[in-house]
């Protein structure tokens, strides 16, 4: 990785001024193919703001240092060109914060490749989400790393919604943190979770456990409810027709919308 960093520092054409501007030439010199470079240049230039691409080179360097090759870097920046606007010290801070949160070599690279936006979020905000997951939802440190790894987008989600989803699954469905992690709950939207759960519940196939955690029939596992496609969900778990589920979802959407309106009007009173 030092090699590629050194390679970049040499990049300066004609004049001896250090290059701060991201040009096609620079990109090709860094090892991108011409079509890659063109695509990348175009993507980065679309990011608005005066100093938009001022930090492009330091970002590129940092990414190479993390061990990505040119094609991974290209993919990553196409996904999130905003990364080029992040100042170098901040970028470094964010990367080392992720390491502190339990992302060791390999898993760090995977999470950034999967969701590069995570490096555009201030350390403070990330740590706030971590604190929220620990204190409001009582997840352990290791579980929180799992959540961030499986669904890094949670960092930018509305925490009120996240808490609602957690409480829904915890109280209404009677599911403990460990099972939430196993089923990658936070990858699914509240509507998806609620639709499938309510569908089963109204069919008599799911019960909220009582205070002792007991139900009169055995609930299907959260994993088998969420991590299957709709066909499998209908035939293997709900034993219902696609017509029923389709109509049910429309009915629920209207029910929930009306409930929200009701809450809103109560709050407004």
Partner 1 sequence: EKWAATLPKFPPTSLALQHFDATYSVQLGQLWPSVRIALLSERKYGALLNTFSHDAVLEDLQAKGCRDFITDTDTEALPCLDPESVVGVEGESNDVPVKKSNADRHLKISPKIKCLVFPRGDITRFKPARPDTQRLLGYYLLDAASVLPCLALDIQEGHIVLDLCAAPGGKAVALLQTQAIGFLCLNDTSVSRTLRLKKVLHSYIPKELLTSKNLRITSSDGTKWGEIENNTFDRVLVDVPCTTDRHSVMEDDNNIFSKNRIGERRRLPQLQLELLLAGIEAACPGGEIMYSTCTLSHIQNQSVVEQAIHLAQENHGIILEVVDLRPLTHMFRKTFHFAPNLHLGEMVIPHLGANFGPIYMCKLRRLT
Contact, 91 vs 98, CB < 8 A?
no
For the chain, the residue count is 269
Q: Which of 11, 113, 159, 240 binds partner 1 (CB under 8 A)?
A: 240
Contact, 167 vs 138, CB < 8 A?
no
Considering only residues 65-104, where is the footprint of partner 1 by CB under 8 A? none
Q: Which of 171, 178, 236, 264 binds partner 1 (CB under 8 A)?
A: 171
Contact, 185 vs 176, CB < 8 A?
no
Distance, CA of 117 to CA of 113 (rounded, Å): 9
**Applying CB under 8 A, which part among 13-21, 27-35, 53-61, 199-207 lies near partner 1?**
199-207
Distance, CA of 62 to CA of 81 (rounded, Å): 14
Q: Which of 244, 260, 262, 264 binds partner 1 (CB under 8 A)?
A: 244
Instruction: Determine if 243 is a binding residue for partner 1 (CB under 8 A).
Output: yes
Classify 142 as helix, strand or coil.
helix
**Residue span 202-231 as binding mask against partner 1, x where in contact by CB under 8 A, dash where not:** xxxx--x-----------------------
Q: Which of 69, 239, 259, 261 binds partner 1 (CB under 8 A)?
A: 239
Q: How far is the CB of 164 from partner 1 (least distance, A)?
A: 8
- Which two three-digit tokens encode residue 13? 């054409």
Q: Which is nearer to partner 1, 142 or 239 (CB)?
A: 239
Distance, CA of 241 to CA of 173 (rounded, Å): 23
**Applying CB under 8 A, which part among 6-14, 71-79, 183-191, 247-255 lies near partner 1?**
247-255
Q: How far is the CB of 135 from partner 1 (least distance, A)?
A: 16
Q: Which of 54, 79, 134, 172 binds partner 1 (CB under 8 A)?
A: 172
Distance, CA of 117 to CA of 129 (rounded, Å): 15
The runs of H, that is alpha helices, within 183-241 are 190-203, 222-226, 230-232
Q: How far is the CB of 258 from partner 1 (least distance, A)?
A: 10
- Sequence-separated (6 or more) residues with CB below 8 Å from residue 231: 242
| Total of chain residues touching partner 1, rule CB under 8 A | 22
Residues forming contacts to partner 1 in the complex (CB under 8 A) are: 164, 167-168, 171-172, 199, 202-205, 208, 239-240, 243-244, 246-248, 250-251, 254-255
């Amino acid at each position: 990785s030092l090699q590629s960093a050194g390679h970049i520092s040499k990049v300066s054409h004609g004049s001896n001024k250090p290059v701060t501007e991201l040009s096609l030439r620079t990109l090709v010199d860094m090892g991108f193919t011409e079509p890659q470079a063109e695509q990348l240049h175009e993507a980065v230039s679309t990011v608005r703001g005066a100093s938009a691409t001022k930090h492009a080179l330091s970002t590129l360097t940092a990414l190479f240092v993390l061990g990505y090759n040119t094609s991974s870097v290209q993919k990553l920046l196409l996904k999130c060109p905003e990364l080029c606007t992040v100042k170098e010290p901040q970028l470094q801070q964010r990367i080392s914060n992720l390491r502190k949160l339990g992302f060791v070599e390999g898993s760090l690279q995977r999470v950034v490749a999967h969701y590069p936006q995570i490096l555009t979020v201030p350390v403070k905000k990330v740590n706030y989400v971590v604190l929220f997951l620990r204190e409001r939802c009582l997840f352990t440190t290791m579980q929180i790393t799992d959540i961030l790894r499986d669904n890094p987008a949670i960092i930018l989600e509305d925490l009120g919604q996240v808490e609602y989803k957690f409480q829904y699954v915890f109280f209404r469905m009677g599911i403990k943190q460990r099972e939430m992690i196993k089923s990658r709950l936070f990858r699914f939207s509240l509507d998806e979770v609620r639709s499938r759960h309510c569908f089963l519940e109204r069919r008599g196939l799911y019960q909220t456990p009582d205070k002792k955690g007991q139900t009169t029939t055995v609930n299907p596992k959260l994993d088998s409810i969420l991590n299957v496609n709709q066909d499998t969900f209908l035939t293997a778990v709900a034993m219902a027709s696609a017509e029923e589920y389709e109509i049910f979802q429309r009915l629920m959407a209207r029910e929930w919308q009306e409930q929200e309106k009701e809450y809103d009007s109560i709050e407004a009173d």
